[in-house]
Amino acid sequence: MKPAPFKYIAATSLEEALSYKEQFGDEARFLAGGQSLIPIMNFRLAHPGILIDINGLTDLSFISQNGGGVSIGALARHGDVERNTVVASSHAIACEAIKEVAHPQIRNRGTLCGNLAHGDPASEMPAVMLALQARFKAKSATGERWISAPDFFQGVFETSLAESEMLTEIELPEQEENSGSCFIEIARRRGDYAIAGVAAIITLDEQDRCRSARLAFCGCGETPLSAELTQQNLVGESIDEQIARAAGESAAKELDPANDVQADAEYKRHIAAVLTKRALLKAGERAQKIRLQSE
């Protein structure tokens, strides 16, 4: 299928892109990698009158170290993040999860910010952003603001970005010492959206007990979801098979999956529990290895 007719504007600066968005509002969409926008336009699920192409704004393709944290610009492609050695050492879970997004060709074109702005609750990276406690910079022609990950994702394909705003940057804060992480999902085929997936981050104390835990899920609700109560209950525990299994069962109860074309809600809860157990054990093991190496 072909998209409905639209006007195309290639922005030559951030200011110009933002001023067009201010002028045209909801009638216009930013075009980043086009890996979500163009398919939905071709299926006539979206028919923006104007596309503002931001691919010329190469200043926004940065991935830079920011103390112990990392800043990622609007034009950084999935593939750039996947292959970035700084991200791999400071926020390994982002590289591990991004490999599950689609296929290499799509990752070479699609951007992380475009993926997050699209707001698909089945996407891997929104859950990873929740687990990493990322912050999002939204910029408009009149100002800028920072939005926390839980406030950013509002519903199915819905974010808190205003009509006039662009997501220009993501900030991944420094992770605590002795932290290990793991992302796992189940998808029908390699490269498909997950039926369900979990991002787990565990920080250990000197006795290898859990100092803090973060668990965030994709495909299990209208937005990426954290299992807040389960996270709290893990504090002080040694992450063994029994604790991880109980945490999986508890986390599954905190989720809100719906029946969809891929699986029913009951199956999603079941796999969320199983994946949580596996992810916690792996994250705990990785955290312990990091702690022992730092001794």
Ligand X SMILES: Cc1cc2nc3c(=O)[nH]c(=O)nc-3n(C[C@H](O)[C@H](O)[C@H](O)COP(=O)(O)OP(=O)(O)OC[C@H]3O[C@@H](n4cnc5c(N)ncnc54)[C@H](O)[C@@H]3O)c2cc1C
Residues 6+ apart with CB under 8 A from 46: 29, 37, 40
The correct pick among 130, 167, 170, 255 for binding ligand X (CB under 6 A) is 167
Instruction: Determine, following the binding rule CB under 6 A, whether residue 73 of this chain makes contact with ligand X.
Output: no
| The one-letter amino acid at 116 | L
For residues 88 and 84, what is the distance between their CA atoms, to the nearest angstrom? 6
Instruction: Determine, following the binding rule CB under 6 A, whether residue 166 of this chain makes contact with ligand X.
Output: yes
The correct pick among 63, 87, 94, 117 for binding ligand X (CB under 6 A) is 117
The correct pick among 11, 17, 18, 32 for binding ligand X (CB under 6 A) is 32
For residues 157 and 176, what is the distance between their CA atoms, to the nearest angstrom? 31
Instruction: Determine, following the binding rule CB under 6 A, whether residue 164 of this chain makes contact with ligand X.
Output: no
The correct pick among 3, 34, 69, 150 for binding ligand X (CB under 6 A) is 34
Instruction: Determine, following the binding rule CB under 6 A, whether residue 31 of this chain makes contact with ligand X.
Output: yes
Residue 8 Cβ, how far from ligand X at the closest point, in Å? 13
Instruction: Determine, following the binding rule CB under 6 A, whether residue 79 of this chain makes contact with ligand X.
Output: no
The correct pick among 102, 129, 170, 216 for binding ligand X (CB under 6 A) is 102
The correct pick among 84, 123, 179, 203 for binding ligand X (CB under 6 A) is 123
> What part of residues 124-163 is at the interface with ligand X (CB under 6 A)?
124-125, 161
Q: Determine how β-strand 69-73 pairs with β-strand 50-53.
A: unpaired
**In contact, 197 and 183? CB cutoff 8 Å:** yes
Judged by beta carbon, residue 95 or residue 101, the one nearer ligand X is 101
Judged by beta carbon, residue 39 or residue 236, the one nearer ligand X is 39
Tokens of 176: 């605590």
> What part of residues 208-267 is at the interface with ligand X (CB under 6 A)?
none
Q: Which residue minimizes CB distance to ligand X? A: 110
In the sheet with 28-31, reading across from the earlier edge strand, the strands are 7-10, 50-53, 28-31
Residue 125 Cβ, how far from ligand X at the closest point, in Å? 6
For residue 72, give Cα distances in angstroms to 62, 103, 176, 206, 242: 6, 21, 20, 32, 38
**In contact, 236 and 210? CB cutoff 8 Å:** yes
Judged by beta carbon, residue 110 or residue 248, the one nearer ligand X is 110
| The one-letter amino acid at 146 | W
For residues 288 and 202, what is the distance between their CA atoms, to the nearest angstrom? 10
The correct pick among 70, 84, 114, 231 for binding ligand X (CB under 6 A) is 114
First to last CA, the chain: 59
Residues 6+ apart with CB under 8 A from 75: 32, 54, 55, 57, 58, 60, 61, 111, 113
For residues 137 and 148, what is the distance between their CA atoms, to the nearest angstrom? 9
Residue 213 Cβ, how far from ligand X at the closest point, in Å? 24
The correct pick among 70, 72, 113, 287 for binding ligand X (CB under 6 A) is 113
Instruction: Determine, following the binding rule CB under 6 A, whether residue 269 of this chain makes contact with ligand X.
Output: no
Looking up tokens 């835990």, which residue turns up? 213
- The stretch near ligand X (CB under 6 A) out of 120-128, 208-216, 259-267, 271-279 is 120-128
- Interaction site with ligand X (CB under 6 A): 29-37, 39, 74, 101-102, 106, 110-111, 113-115, 117-118, 123-125, 161, 166-167, 192-193
